[in-house]
Chains A and B, each alone.
Chain A
Amino acid sequence: DAKTTQPPSMDCAEGRAANLPCNHSTISGNEYVYWYRQIHSQGPQYIIHGLKNNETNEMASLIITEDRKSSTLILPHATLRDTAVYYCIGVRSNDYKLSFGAGTTVTVRA
């Protein structure tokens, strides 16, 4: 699986968009980019995933660069409840195992 690199922490103002970067320069052609988040003491929560096209759902948008070496998770209107650790993970289409790194600790401030 691709090694992913994320900034250790970032702050965001409530109501503003939060843009979370992830580098995955070694990603292979059949690896999906998944984003999960973990709010303090809770189980991780799936947010969104994509292969090469940009994706949007009710929680977030995922922008993947054309060369697939990096991606950005966008929380369009951050709220205090979005404060969490966000994980970017590469997963091959024929594999099921998740390999979590340290993630990005996002703090949304009022």
Chain B
Amino acid sequence: NAGVTQTPKFQVLKTGQSMTLQCAQDMNHEYMSWYRQDPGMGLRLIHYSVGAGITDQGEVPNGYNVSRSTTEDFPLRLLSAAPSQTSVYFCATRVTATTDGYTFGSGTRLTVV
């Protein structure tokens, strides 16, 4: 049981490049979400999904796309990277039928130059 796996751990992009941050979980959690954390700040919700085929926007969705074709995977796509997207990105999952807490991945540290 690996929990929540995020790849890559570190990434440097040039402005305008696109990339996909991967999030995979093996806990059969219906709910998956992406957060970003900027220096000295709390986490802000980007996108979330309550199940395969269902996604919705969070607090800061602009510049990001998501899809949820399987229960296990929830990739986050940066369409055209900007320096403002330099941040640490966390994937979080949980079961929807309970009040259990979230399981977070270890994060992807992204730098856009």
Contacts and interface: CB of A to CB of B under 8 A. Distances in A.
A29 B31 CA distance: 23
Given A96-B96, A97-B48, A45 B104 contact: yes
Contacts of B31: 96
Nearest to A43: B104
Contacts of B4: 43
B53 interface: no
Nearest to B31: A96
Interface residues of B, number: 27
A10 interface: no
B45 A97 contact: yes
Contacts of A36: 101-102
A32, A87, A98, A100: most-surrounded residue (chain B CB, <10 A): A98
Bin chain A's interface residue count. 20 to 34
A13 interface: no
B58 interface: yes
A34 B48 contact: no
A96 B42 contact: no
Interface string B78-101: 000000000010101010100111
B99 A49 contact: yes
Contacts of B33: 96-97
Contact of B42 (A45, A47, A48, A100): A100
Interface of A: 32, 34, 36, 41-49, 87, 93, 96-103
30 contacts: A32-B99, A34-B101, A41-B88, A42-B106, A42-B107, A43-B90, A43-B92, A43-B104, A43-B105, A44-B43, A44-B102, A44-B104, A47-B101, A48-B101, A87-B42, A93-B99, A96-B31, A96-B96, A97-B33, A97-B58, A98-B35, A98-B43, A98-B102, A99-B59, A100-B35, A100-B42, A100-B44, A101-B42, A102-B41, A102-B42
